[in-house]
Amino acid sequence: MSQSQSSRSQPDPSDKPVTGPETQKPSPDNAQNSGPSNFIEELIEDDLRTGKWDGRVQTRFPPEPNGYLHIGHAKSICLNFGLAEKYGGKCNLRFDDTNPTKEEQEYVDAIRSDVRWLGFGWDDREFFASDYFDQLYQWALQLIRGGMAYVCDLSNDQVREYRGTLTKPGVESPYRNRSIEENLQLFERMRAGEFPDGSRTLRAKIDMASPNLNMRDPVLYRILHAHHHRSGDKWCIYPMYDFTHGQSDSIERITHSICTLEFENHRPLYDWFCDTLGIYHPQQIEFARLNLTYTMMSKRRLLELVREKKVRGWDDPRMPTIQGIRRRGYTPEAVREFCRRIGVTKFDGVTDIALLEHCLREDLNRRSLRVMGVLRPLRVVIDNYPAGECDHLEAVNNPEDPSAGTRTVPFSRELYIEQDDFREDPPKKYYRLAPGQEVRLRYGYFITCRSVVKDDKGQVVEVHCTYDPATRGGNAPDGRKVKGTIHWVSAEHALPVEVRLYDHLFMKEDPDEVDGAGLDWRSNLNPNSLEVVSPCYVEPSLAGAAPGGHYQFERLGYFNVDKDSTASQLVFNRTVTLKDTWAKIEKRETA
């Protein structure tokens, strides 16, 4: 959206009642569910019953465009857009772009894509904090004229030193009692670009002895001669996040300003700004952010991983970014269901990533087509099958979805099976292929191992078998049973592909937990988080599979087609294994 378009759709900064569709008056009866499912919904429904906010529900999702969003942001997206949807309200998408040295258009575009991918839209309600810079500047002048803000010459280090600690009150700046006229003059000169970066700030005049450090004369503006991705070079002073966030909510007439718990101590400051300026005052509500085991949730550290080339980019499938999990094969439905299940609380905690994977498996199980693929191939020759002939066997596409129908898979004299599905010297209770042992080929025949061929190192490279033609489809007419069923692909018809096997990016549940002095979170990076396997072989039905397509490789896991695929080389990412450990975890927790 261009700047001119943005200014036309920008909300009225005055404190007049909003008109038009924003003033819809929802009711708890509009809710998709019969009652509230968390404390925020209880607050909203109480507000609707009492007529607070004129019956409006107006939320916003306000990311800073200084990096890619991660799974933690997905919780906030689902919460803010979901509340508006449930109660017939509106949710704005607002970019809090107050730091031009860290923000890029690339991040803006990625955030838009992420929100849309999760299934939410914002119509014409896309805003930027930079749209409000003129209004924020006027409010800063208002604070100066009211004796509530002053220009300070202390350096950043001195400001921190004067601020004090939790047990020691702060010390007033020697510049705190400048006259209103001098402060106005200096602030205008700051805007005019007369001073170098960091030489002066504008600070609020509140209380240097406050037990809340955020109230100890916080900085409102700093000098920063930097090009802004939207406003260009119009400004060389930029408002701080804390001076921007609450007032942006006020301008947009947000009713329920939903933040994570780390903003709880900032709420008195946001209240002070609105009250002192005499402007519309939203209600801030804090909730616990999402923390996941084996997952780094710091945007700054994720950026370091990208810059240090520890990963292949923001969309590396090992990254917890929305772009990364999307490329890995996660679905928006699975992420939304996960966010619904973890709920919204006031207490910090850590969620086991197994629950996220459980939600993913449930969704992929319903939607994924079944296919056969072999990751580590071992050649099998069926000696009594006619050379040059080919059967076409019927296979089920998805037993969870009868409408998905069936397909045919070619069967020939030479096959590939998994190396793990054969043992020359099998352990007890090994029911797969072994010398003299009979197994069922999925959708195919019973085969029995008769001999093996080894290489110079003594490794088995080829297994020779015989098949029983009467067992086509996997059943023996004489009623004999086999305990093992293995998957396979026809060697003559198989497609060679590359498969990328992903594991947790970090080896410890808490990536910040280090074992020795001088180590940091990087020491917990998993060196085996990615294994590239090639060539692998898949059945020919996958020819032409499009990037993003979801498949279950029978007995192996869920996979999707990576964007690196070409017409001549398909690349598959393992999205998640078939094994579901969440049920075991849940059982332990409830025991």
Please provide the distance, in angstroms rounded to a whole number, between the alpha carbons at the two ends of the chain: 54
Question: What are the b/e assignments for 513-527, b being 16+ CB within 10 Å?
Answer: eeeeeeeebeebbbe
Distances (CA, A) of 591 to 38, 342, 349, 350, 587: 25, 20, 20, 19, 6
Contact 50, 43 (CB under 8 A): no
Contacts of 104 (CB under 8 A, 6+ apart): 65, 66, 229
Determine contact, residues 339/351, Cβ cutoff 8 Å: no
- Asked if 409 and 392 count as a contact pair (C-beta separation under 8 A), the reply is yes
Single-letter amino acid code for the residue at 349: G
CA contacts within 13 A on the Cβ side of 209 = 0
- Are the C-beta atoms of 327 and 562 separated by less than 8 Å? yes
Residue 434 structure tokens = 């072994």
Whole-angstrom Cα distance, residue 357 to residue 586?
Answer: 13
- The residues assigned a catalytic role are 64, 289, 299
Distances (CA, A) of 515 to 293, 350, 507: 17, 21, 12
The residues facing 221 across adjacent strands are 202, 239
Residues 6+ away with beta carbon under 8 Å from 41: 31, 83, 86
Distance of CA 392 to the CA centre of its chain: 42
How crowded is residue 246: how many other Cβ atoms within 10 Å of its Cβ?
27
And the tokens for 9?
Answer: 């759709």
Buried b or exposed e, range 323-334, using 16+ CB within 10 angstroms: bbbbbbbbbbbb
Pairing state between β 550-553 and 557-561: antiparallel
Contact between 345 and 336 (Cβ < 8 Å): no
> Which amino acid is located at 7 in the chain?
S
- Asked if residues 143 and 204 have their Cβ atoms less than 8 Å apart, the reply is yes
485 token code pair: 């069923």
Tokens matching residue 561 = 């087609």
Count of beta carbons in the 10 Å neighbourhood of residue 109 = 11
Alpha carbons 392 and 269: distance in angstroms, whole number? 72
In the three-class reduction of DSSP (H, G, I as helix; E, B as strand; rest coil), residue 181 is classed as helix
Of 415, 416, 398, the C-alpha closest to 407 is: 398
In degrees and rounded to multiples of 5, residue 262 shows phi and psi of -65, -15
Residue 265: half-sphere exposure toward Cβ, Cα within 13 Å: 9
Find out whether 207 and 174 touch, Cβ atoms under 8 Å: no
